[in-house]
Structure formats: C-alpha cells, structure tokens
Structure 1
C-alpha cells in the first residue's frame, strides 16, 4: 500500500486487482479497485489489459462516484473499440438506457450528465456506434447473450431510439424470437400479441401454448396469448382461461358459444342460428359470462342477454328483462338493438305520452339507419318525411333569389326582414308550408337526427312534422338561420310580430325581389 501511494505502478495494479477480485481479509470493492487501477493507468499510460479486466468484472448496478464512473466508461469505450464482445454489449446497454437529458438508468453511470459523456465522444456518434455494435452482437452466434441482443435490437428498431426506425425489421426479429421455447420467446410472443396477431404467429403459438395451458397458475399478462390461441387455433381451453382472466371479448365469445348464438350473427335481430359445433346450450352459464362482459360495457353482450331472456327454454325468461337489456345495448350503440327499440316505440306510439308522436321512435330508428340497418332506413321513411331535393320545392325561386341577394350585399336586409330571409331558406330546404314558414320556431327546429316542425301553439289544427336532414345544404341553412336568430335576440329585443305582420314582411320581400308566390292563396293557419 505504501509503495502504491508513493507511485509504484506495479503496486497500484496489484492493490487494484486485490479489491477487484477480493482476497481473504479483503472483500471485493469495485470503487477502490477503480481508484487504484485508474492511478495505475495514469502512471503507465492506458493499457488495454486493464480496461478488459475492468469490463469483465464491472456490474451495471454497482454504485460508483462520478470520477469512478467516468473512468469505467473510458474503459468500456476503449475495450469496445478494440473489439471486445462484452465491452460492446455493456456499451450498447448503457447508451440504450440513456434518457433525453443524458442520464443513465444504471446505478454505475447515473451520476454522469451530457457533458461527461461528451468527453469521450458526441452522443450522436455513440448512438450510431451502439446500433452497429448491437447489430453485430445480434448476428454473433458465439455470443452467449445473443437472444437478449436480438430482443434489444428489435426494440431499438421499433422505437428508433438509436437513430434508426424500421418497424418491419423489428417485427421479423420478434417473430424469430417468439419461436424460442424460453422466457424471451414467450415475452416476444406476448409483445406481438398485444398489437396484432396474424397467421405468421401460429408456429410460435403452437410452441408456447402447451406450456401455458399446463401451468398451474394462469397469469393475466398472458391473456392476449390465450385469446390469440382461440382466434387462430380454436382452442376452447384457451378461450375459457382468457374468460376466467377477465378478458371481456373472451367472456362474450364463451357466452355466445354456450348459448348456441353464433358470434358472427350476434348483431343481427334474427339471431337464432345454432352453431353446428356448439353442443347443448347451457343458458345459465352463458348468462353468467355475458353478464360479466356486459358489466364492462360490451354492447353485444347486452344484446345477447336480451335474446336469451326471450328464449322459452331459459328458466329466467322475462320479456321485461329482455327489453331492459336491449335498451342498454341501444344506449351503447348496438345497431340492431337501436332498431328494435325504435320499431317498438313506433308500434306503441299511441300508448306513449310524448309531445310529438314518433319523435322518440324516429331518433332510435335513425341511429340504426346510420349504422347500415336496411330495415331501419325503410321504417324511417315511414316515420319521417324526406325532401333532399330543394330545387323541386315550393319556395325554390324565392330562396335562390334571397341567397343571391345576401351574397351580393349582406347588409341589404336587416332586422326582422333578415330573419324572414332565413325563414324562406329553411322553408325551401325542408319543403314547409306557408304557415310553417311564418310560424315555426326556427332555433328549435334542428335535432340531432332531423328537423321537428310544430306550430300548434299558433295553429292548433296543424299536424307536427318530422323531417329527415339528409343534405349538407339543409344543415347549413338551419345553422345559419339559428345563428342569425341568436344574434338578433342577443343584440336587442326582437318581436317578429303576429301572423299578419310576418305575412306582410314575406310579401314585401317577394315584391322587392320580383318573385310571385307559387300556388295561389292558401288558408295558412288560424289566427
């Protein structure tokens, strides 16, 4: 020790090795080893054997001071550049785990910052070098951690953290790894299963599935693998395990299978087909699994429960429960459930107390028609009027003249007359009568699924109308009219007056635009 402190290089080396390997009475101490070996390197010049010695005995979870970490890193860089395999592996791992601020997640190097790394070389160069080393190690059959290197390379190519992004190559590497019958292979299979599983994964599934099925404890992290085994290998045991692990698509599928409801037809109203491979229906078990999926918001599960509750052979038969399940499925957006609900409301419209007959039914039928249910579109045409072609409507000439005038001079019409202009435009798009043009409450016409025209407040003998909004021009006309009415009523107190006053403004508008009213006189409304 005395000789080492006095600068004897040989003594410094020996003390460093004693701390590095440990001896009786002197435990291993990587910090002291680095201290003396660094002194030795300063005394004699940097020697490759010393750097290789340090690399071979350095653990990334060793806690080092900043100076010791800088020296250890220089050793890794020196040995890596000289071709030592382990040094290149350590180099790659350290660079891979650097965060955006240049700090390492490894204890040995987390004291270093960006400027410390740059003493050896720029970080950009190190990223490129790490990728090159990693690719070499991944192809090196003699490297004992080759599989780990391949997995790390796939991750780097997937997220591009080492400066190169190649998802396709990353997937190919993962597919290769997934066929390894070990933990890395299983982890690779799980990673691929979490994104998408295609036929290319079938060999890996077949390799790992027997081990997973034979396990005494099934882990939730393997759920997607079990689900993939059902989807691609039709393994019923895997399906049951996925359902038991709480995977709602598996719970839904198992419930439909037990109830003999083919999953592919679960969204159809007439779902009653029985799977040829299903066996006897165990409806109570089916209900158990479907309820679990339904509680997680699965609309198909709610719909299937609605069907089962109407099966005569089900001991829990209940039309009321069935309707409740269909309603829940409709609320969650199930198209056939929406059609069922809408058609039921339409059949019972005479018994329902609603301000406008068929309004609720039209909403649900419209929702179903938007999702491509042909029957819904047919029923909607019976509930709601359709007028998509404005050029065929009564007010077309006047509306076109108003639109042209407003386009040429937006300030020509103001106040009440401007509101009358918008009434004309809306009336033409929705093919309204004269009374409806004059009396409709424009801001409240538009609903999500269509237009509601109700002037019974002014004309008790009139009949409300439900009109489909089918074109962009119709929505634009209603939007602009609502905006104008909102501005008018927010800026000042606007009173459009009674029917005579409104009719007078309409006639004045037609005279100013030199447009004659089509259709002669009309008994518009009661006053």
Structure 2
C-alpha cells in the first residue's frame, strides 16, 4: 500500500502533471513509498511524462526500460525519439533500444532514423559493446543482396558479409548466446561437423544443466520436466549435436540418449522417434544398431514410439509394428503388429505399404481377403513410384485376349438388342473392360466382386473349372462400366436364383439372341 507522502503524487499524476508522472514512475520502478516494484507500471507513467517532452523521463526510460517492455506498446516506434534523446545525452544503453526499434520499424521511422540507428550500432560495436556487435551482424546478414551469396563480385556486399561474420565471432566469444547459436548453425550448414561439435558442446551443456534442474524438481514425474521449454534453435542444436556424437567411432550412446530425451520431453515428435529407436536398437529400416551397447529395451522404446506415433509420424507406427513382431520380445503380438503396420501404411509410409502388401500376400491362404489387401497396398506403393510394386501388380492386370470374344459380339449388338437385353449387354461390356472369359462374364456377381481398386473374379461356386483371380481397376473406363452395371442391375439378385437364371439358361440366351456368339 502506498505511503501517505505518495498519495499527492498519485493524485497529481492522474490529473496529468508531468513531474508527478515522472516521480510516480520512478517510485514504481524502484519499489519506493510502499509501492510494488513493477517495470510495466513504471513505464506506464514514464511514457505519459515523456509524451509531455520531459527530459528526465527520456533519460529514465533510456536508462531503465528494456526493449521487451517497449514492444508491448501499440506503436513501439513512437518511443524511438525518447531513446534517441537519451543516447544523445550520454545514456549509451539507450542506443541499442533505439536502433532495434528503428530497424524493426523502418517504414514508420524513416530513412534518416535508419541511417542514424546504423551509425549508433557501429559506434557501440567499435566501443566493444557485444550486444551492438551482434545486432549489427544480424542486420548485415539479413540485408545482404543475393549477388553476394552468388559470389558475383559485389565487393561491398562481400565485405559486409565478412564484417558481419567478424562481429558475430566477437559477440560469440564475449558470451552472446544468440551469436553462438548462429555460428553453430553456420558450421552445420557448411558441413563442418568437427567445428560444430566444438561450438555446440558448451551450449548443449547449458541445456543439459537446465534439464537436470527441472528433472530434480519432478523426480516422480519425469514428463513434468516438459516445463523446460526449448526454442526451435535449441531443439535443432540438441538434435544435430546428438547426430554428430552418434557418427563418432566410439558412440557415447548414453549421452546421445540424454540429449534426445531432453528434446523428446519438450515435445519434439522426431526426437521421440529417435529416442525410441535408440532404446530398441533398430533404425528406420528395422536393422539392428549399436550391437556393442547392450540389449534392446523394448519396454522403454514403446512409450516414446507411441508418443511419436500419436504426434503423426508413420515411421513410429512402423517401428512399433516391428517390435511387436520380434520373437525375443516378451509381449510379442502379431495382431497388434499388423494393426500398427496398417496405420503406418494408411499414413502413406512407402516402406510400410510394401511390407503390408508382402505380409498380406504371404498369408493369402489364411483369408480370402488378404490378396485383395495386398493388391491395394501394392497399388498405393506404385502410386508413389515404387518399381517393385509395379512389377507385383502385373499379376493382377487384365487379360485382353480373354475378353476378345465379347468384343466381337458387342460389335454386332444394336441399340434395339441392348434395350431388349440390358443385363446381358452390360455383362459383355464388363467382359471387354476386364478381360473375362465367357463363363466369368455370364456368372460373375460384380457387386460382391467390386472392391474399389480391383475386381474379384470368382465363379468357382457355379463353375468348378474356373480359378479365382483379381483384376485391377486401373482406368476410368473400367470404373464407368462398373457404375453403369450398378445402375442397370440396381437391386437385382445376381446369383443363379435371380431373374437371369442358372448358367445353362444364360448360355442359351446368349446363343439364341446373339447367334454369332456361338462357338
């Protein structure tokens, strides 16, 4: 609660007295006269005093109010003149905030203010102000013309890049963390992995310490340590650093797992996937990894892989499928394995689609639907450009010569005959479209046989010599023929108990109504 001597100042500040607003802002900034210490509230009153051109307000704002507080204003660029005046009056730290405001709002502040902001940064950088060095380096890197990147001979631009790199080096050596991250990212992009390891090690150590502190506060609930939030830069650094360590001759696997654990707990799906794979000692292809680092820990791997899977990574479902199919896994379950494999395939993972097709084909005798499923997933894999899948699908291609007989008959069918015999006519069209033999065309229940991606041709119930087979629906013409057949037959029973009769009756109708169809 405010003390008695602060009450007149508060009343005067509310009525708009600049000196009172300045005094109240100072009290809130330092927590005096019984008022709570609050930079935000202090800036609220100092801003009102500054808008009345009170010099002392400029000085206090420039000396004490950081950019993050100014950024909460609706129009932060309006504060630029205050920091400029404070800098001109000798408050050097105000120059950094002035430069940042101007460079982030060039359009509102104008070209003149931009020139002065760059001049201020250059002066502070020359005076070994490391934050100014880093800010100027960022500006130089972000405003390099494309020609400099192509080494086209733009000397000024190249010099600007070189100067920016020098400033970044100096800022990083002085402990500016953002500059250190920038250098490590450059080393990674340039493929200088040894240099990257040197640069990333101290940064990774800091993050490890942060994690250990958070973990010690949540001993019973490790996942609660997710309160250690990682930026995209920190996530990338830990992931890349783990990859560098993993490429070494002697892999410090426990350290790699600890790095991945930090990123995984903070919510990275890819880190969760990698951590799960490390515990399972397999890679994305299912091959064994790190054979000299002990046995696989499937019970540790499964929770992380489930997190990654529910985060939307099909590779995680595929890895889970492989784990549950392993004979050495105490909880081996082939049904669960196939379920996870199907999920990965449904999410578009090519390797899962191929494996699911092969597995379904291998067990085709267990269920009549397995070969239909195999054809479907080979078709999906072929759509992604897999050559082997295309070869497998050749077994399901239509046989044009088988339907030649129907094509010859259709050439003689008139519109009058079509109208008089709609069922027989559409069966002939199906025979041509899918390469069906005469018995197949006359007896096929296409409604049951249509599985979307393929037509199941099975008349063994009525014709003992016929073999069940699948024909891919791989053209729009075939699909249109099946749609037309559905319209013509409607709800008509297609079995031998339906209006078309048994096989002999259908043969007789074909023979008598279309005499040219006789053998």
**Fold conserved (TM > 0.5)?**
yes
Q: How many angstroms apart in 2 are the aligned matches of 1:375 and 1:40?
A: 77
SS at match of 2:456: strand
Matches within 5 A, 1:19-418: 53=59, 56-57=62-63, 59=65, 72=79, 75=82, 89-90=96-97, 93-94=100-101, 124-126=107-109, 141-142=125-126, 144-146=130-132, 149=135, 153=139, 181-185=175-179, 199=191, 203-213=195-205, 215-218=208-211, 221=230, 222-234=234-246, 235-245=252-262, 246=264, 247-257=271-281, 261=282, 263=283, 265-266=285-286, 271=287, 278-279=291-292, 281-283=294-296, 285=297, 287-296=298-307, 297=309, 298-306=316-324, 309-310=326-327, 314=328, 316=329, 321=333, 324-325=336-337, 328-333=340-345, 334-335=352-353, 337-339=355-357, 341-346=359-364, 349=365, 352=366, 354=368, 358-359=371-372, 384-387=395-398, 390=400, 393-395=403-405, 397-398=407-408
Q: How many angstroms apart in 1 are the aligned matches of 2:505 and 2:112?
A: 85
Deviation of the 1:480 alpha carbon: 0.9
SS at match of 1:332: helix
Deviation of the 1:341 alpha carbon: 2.3
Deviation of the 1:145 alpha carbon: 2.8
1:441 match? 445
Q: How many angstroms apart in 1 are the aligned matches of 2:362 and 2:88?
A: 78
SS at match of 1:279: coil
**Residues 1-22 of structure 1: CA distance to partner in whole angstroms, max 9, x if unpaired?**
xxxxxxxxxxx99889877878
Q: How many angstroms apart in 2 are the aligned matches of 1:386 and 1:300?
A: 29
Structure 1 residues 353, 58: closer, same or farther in 2, change over 3 A? closer
Q: How many angstroms apart in 1 are the aligned matches of 2:459 and 2:356?
A: 29
**Residues 242-271 of structure 1: CA distance to partner in whole angstroms, max 9, x if unpaired?**
4434332322431353xxx5x2642xxxx5
Structure 1 residues 56, 360: closer, same or farther in 2, change over 3 A? closer
Q: How many angstroms apart in 2 are the aligned matches of 1:50 and 1:363?
A: 77
Structure 1 residues 498, 505: closer, same or farther in 2, change over 3 A? same
Q: How many angstroms apart in 1 are the aligned matches of 2:478 and 2:79?
A: 73
Select the structure with the greater relative contact order (CA < 8 A; seq sep ≥ 6): 1
Structure 2: gaps (5+ residues): 1-16, 151-156, 212-227, 247-251, 265-270, 310-315, 346-351
Structure 1 residues 359, 61: closer, same or farther in 2, change over 3 A? closer
Normalized per residue, which structure has more helix?
2
1:109 match? none
Structure 1 residues 157, 134: closer, same or farther in 2, change over 3 A? farther
SS at match of 1:199: coil
1:469 match? 472
Deviation of the 1:431 alpha carbon: 1.1
Q: How many angstroms apart in 2 are the aligned matches of 1:433 and 1:153?
A: 75
Q: How many angstroms apart in 2 are the aligned matches of 1:498 and 1:226?
A: 71
Deviation of the 1:56 alpha carbon: 2.6
Structure 1 residues 358, 201: closer, same or farther in 2, change over 3 A? closer
Q: How many angstroms apart in 2 are the aligned matches of 1:80 and 1:402?
A: 97
Deviation of the 1:89 alpha carbon: 4.8
Q: How many angstroms apart in 2 are the aligned matches of 1:186 and 1:13?
A: 44
SS at match of 1:394: helix
Q: How many angstroms apart in 2 are the aligned matches of 1:475 and 1:184?
A: 57
Paired residues of 1:299 and 1:332 also in contact (CA < 8 A): yes
**Residues 114-164 of structure 1: CA distance to partner in whole angstroms, max 9, x if unpaired?**
xxxxxxxxx945487887777767766245532663687599889xxxxx9
Task: Give the TM-score, by structure 2 length.
Answer: 0.57
Paired residues of 2:357 and 2:378 also in contact (CA < 8 A): yes
Q: How many angstroms apart in 2 are the aligned matches of 1:360 and 1:486?
A: 23
Structure 1 residues 303, 17: closer, same or farther in 2, change over 3 A? closer
Paired residues of 1:190 and 1:224 also in contact (CA < 8 A): no
SS at match of 1:278: coil
Q: How many angstroms apart in 1 are the aligned matches of 2:293 and 2:140?
A: 47
SS at match of 2:333: helix
1:116 match? none
**Residues 302-344 of structure 1: CA distance to partner in whole angstroms, max 9, x if unpaired?**
244246x32xxx4x567x6356435533442224642552244
Task: Give the TM-score, by structure 1 length.
Answer: 0.57
SS at match of 1:498: coil
Structure 1 residues 95, 421: closer, same or farther in 2, change over 3 A? farther
Paired residues of 1:306 and 1:325 also in contact (CA < 8 A): yes
Structure 1 residues 437, 124: closer, same or farther in 2, change over 3 A? farther
Structure 1 residues 63, 90: closer, same or farther in 2, change over 3 A? closer
Structure 1 residues 380, 75: closer, same or farther in 2, change over 3 A? closer
Structure 1 residues 483, 360: closer, same or farther in 2, change over 3 A? closer
Q: CA RMSD in A?
A: 6.1
Matches within 5 A, 1:448-487: 448-455=452-459, 459-461=462-464, 463=466, 465-469=468-472, 474-487=474-487
**Residues 78-107 of structure 1: CA distance to partner in whole angstroms, max 9, x if unpaired?**
889999986775456557888xxxxxxxxx
Structure 1: gaps (5+ residues): 1-11, 42-48, 99-122, 159-163, 406-410, 522-527
Match of residue 429, structure 1, among 433, 437, 442: 433
